[in-house]
C-alpha cells in the first residue's frame, strides 16, 4: 500500500490513524488489566491457602496445619472475558476456596447479565450466544435454564411475603396463556391481583397459575391474599370481569365492598350479540355511557342507547341492563381516577409482555418454568411503577 506524504494526508486519513492507534492502545491496556486481575486473584488465593496452612513456605512450626501441594489450572468467566488462574492445593486435600467456590465457573455478575438477557426476551440459545463477544465463549441453553432456576427462591418469597392492607382499589382477572409442552399445546390460566394503594402507588400484587377458573381456585387465591394482610380496611372498589366463580369468592371475603364490572369485558360480550355490520356503531354508542360527566348523565346515556338498539338486539341490551348498577359504580370514585378503575385493562396489558416473552420459548417443562417468566415480567413492571405514584393522585385539585 502506498504511503502518503504528510502534506497530502486528509482529515479522513488522520482520523483513521488516530482510531487505529486508539484501538491498539486499548487492546494493550486490556491485556495489562487482565494480567493485573489474574495476579490479584492468584495472590488472594495464595493468602487464603496460607491461612489454612498457618505457615510460610519451608517454615517449620508447631502450629502448621497442612502442607502446600502445588497448583492446578482453572478457567473462570469474568464480566469482561475468561481468565486462567492457578488454584492452590494442599497435601491433605479438602481445600475449598471462598474466593472462587468449587464448581463456580462464572462470577455472579455474569449470571445476572445472562438472566436479564433471557428474561427480556431472548431464547435460551440466543442468550447463551449473546455474551460470546465479551466472554470469549458461548453458554449452553441448559446452563441458561439452570441459571433461571435461581429465581425459584425469589418467586417463593414473592408468593409468601406479608402484604400491607393499604389498597384503595383491587383488580382481579384471569389471563389465559397457551403453553407449548412436551405433550403438545396446553392452556393455563393465570389468576392475577393488581392494586392501587391509598398513596397512589400501584402494584401487581400476586398471581397463581391454575388449569381453569373456578370459584374454588379464586377462593384459594383470595384467601391467601386475605391471610397475608389484605383484609380490605381501606378498600373502596373491586374491579372484575363477570366470572361467576370470582364474584362469589369476592362476596365471601369482601361482602361490603362495591364491585365495578369491567367495561372492556362487557363490551366484548355485547359485540357477540351483534351482527358484524352493526358492531362498530353500536359499541361506539355504548361507550358514551361510561364517558358521561357523572352517574346521572350515564344513566340517561344508557336509556338512550337501550331504546336505540333494544328492538334490534334485545340480548345485547339485556347484557348491559342486568349489570348496569355495577357498571356505573366507578362514578362513586373521584373524577380524576375514574378512567383507571372502570376496566381491568392494566392486567391484560401486563400480560401482553408475558406473551411476548414466552413466544421464543420452544416449550415449558413444568409450572415452575412458567412462574419464573410471569414473575420476572410482573416484577419488572412493579420496579418501574414503584418509583412514583399515579399522577391522578399527585395532581388532585
Query: Is 205 in contact with 193 (CB distance < 8 Å)?
Result: yes
Query: Is 170 in contact with 194 (CB distance < 8 Å)?
Result: yes
Per-residue confidence (pLDDT) for residue 383, from 0 to 100 = 86
First to last CA, the chain: 74
Per-residue confidence (pLDDT) for residue 86, from 0 to 100 = 75
DSSP conformational letter for 4 = P
pTM assigned to the model: 0.69
Per-residue confidence (pLDDT) for residue 88, from 0 to 100 = 74
Q: What distance in Å separates the CA atoms of residue 80 and residue 83, rounded to the nearest whole number?
A: 9
Domain extent listing, the chain:
12-105, 106-160, 164-394
DSSP conformational letter for 120 = T
Per-residue confidence (pLDDT) for residue 246, from 0 to 100 = 96
Q: Tens-digit pLDDT profile for the chain (397 aa)?
A: 455 554 555 556 655 555 555 445 445 555 665 666 667 667 776 776 666 666 655 555 555 555 666 777 776 665 556 667 777 776 666 666 655 655 344 445 445 555 555 555 445 555 545 555 444 555 555 655 666 666 788 889 999 999 999 999 999 999 888 776 667 777 889 999 999 999 999 999 999 999 999 999 999 999 999 999 999 999 999 999 999 999 999 999 999 999 999 999 999 999 999 999 999 999 999 999 999 999 999 999 999 999 999 999 999 999 999 999 999 999 999 999 999 999 999 999 888 888 777 666 555 667 777 888 888 888 888 988 887 888 877 765 4
Per-residue confidence (pLDDT) for residue 6, from 0 to 100 = 47
For residue 70, how many other CB atoms are within 10 A of its CB? 10
Cβ contacts of residue 23 below 8 Å, gap of 6+? none
Choose among 210, 149, 140: nearest CA to 179.
210
Amino acid at each position: 500500500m502506498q504511503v502518503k506524504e504528510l502534506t497530502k494526508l486528509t482529515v479522513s486519513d488522520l482520523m483513521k490513524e488516530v482510531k487505529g492507534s486508539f484501538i491498539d492502545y486499548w487492546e494493550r491496556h486490556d491485556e495489562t488489566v487482565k494480567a493485573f486481575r489474574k495476579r490479584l486473584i492468584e495472590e488472594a488465593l495464595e493468602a487464603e491457602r496460607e491461612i489454612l496452612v498457618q505457615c510460610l513456605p519451608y517454615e517449620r512450626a508447631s502450629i502448621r496445619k497442612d502442607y502446600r501441594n502445588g497448583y492446578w489450572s482453572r478457567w473462570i468467566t469474568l464480566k469482561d472475558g475468561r481468565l486462567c488462574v492457578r488454584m492452590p492445593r494442599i497435601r491433605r486435600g479438602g481445600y475449598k476456596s471462598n474466593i472462587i467456590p468449587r464448581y463456580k465457573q462464572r462470577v455472579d455478575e455474569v449470571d445476572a447479565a445472562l438472566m436479564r438477557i433471557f428474561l427480556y426476551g431472548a431464547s435460551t440459545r440466543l442468550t447463551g450466544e449473546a455474551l460470546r463477544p465479551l466472554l470469549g465463549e458461548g453458554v449452553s441453553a441448559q446452563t441458561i435454564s439452570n441459571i433461571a432456576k435461581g429465581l425459584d427462591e425469589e418467586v417463593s418469597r414473592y408468593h409468601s411475603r406479608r402484604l400491607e392492607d393499604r389498597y384503595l382499589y383491587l383488580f382481579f382477572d384471569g389471563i389465559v396463556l397457551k403453553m407449548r409442552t412436551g405433550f403438545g399445546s396446553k392452556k393455563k390460566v393465570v389468576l392475577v391481583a393488581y392494586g392501587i394503594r391509598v398513596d397512589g402507588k400501584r402494584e401487581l400484587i400476586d398471581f397463581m397459575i391454575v388449569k381453569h377458573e373456578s370459584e374454588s381456585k379464586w377462593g384459594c387465591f383470595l384467601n391467601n391474599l386475605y391471610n397475608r394482610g389484605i383484609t380490605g380496611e381501606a378498600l373502596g372498589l373491586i374491579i372484575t370481569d363477570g366470572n361467576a366463580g370470582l364474584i362469589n369468592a369476592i362476596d365471601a371475603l369482601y361482602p361490603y365492598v362495591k364491585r365495578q364490572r369491567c367495561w372492556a369485558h362487557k363490551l366484548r360480550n355485547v359485540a357477540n350479540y351483534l351482527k358484524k355490520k352493526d358492531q362498530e356503531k353500536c359499541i361506539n354508542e355504548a361507550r358514551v355511557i361510561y364517558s358521561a360527566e357523572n352517574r346521572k348523565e350515564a344513566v340517561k346515556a344508557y336509556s338512550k342507547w337501550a331504546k336505540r338498539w333494544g328492538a334490534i338486539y334485545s340480548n345485547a341490551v339485556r347484557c348491559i341492563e342486568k349489570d348496569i348498577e355495577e357498571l356505573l359504580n366507578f362514578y362513586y370514585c373521584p373524577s380524576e381516577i375514574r378512567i383507571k378503575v372502570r376496566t381491568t385493562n392494566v392486567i391484560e396489558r401486563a400480560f401482553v409482555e408475558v406473551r411476548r416473552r414466552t413466544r421464543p420459548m420452544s416449550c415449558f417443562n413444568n409450572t415452575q418454568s412458567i412462574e419464573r417468566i410471569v414473575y420476572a415480567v410482573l416484577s419488572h413492571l412493579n420496579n418501574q411503577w414503584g418509583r412514583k405514584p399515579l399522577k391522578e393522585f399527585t395532581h388532585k385539585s
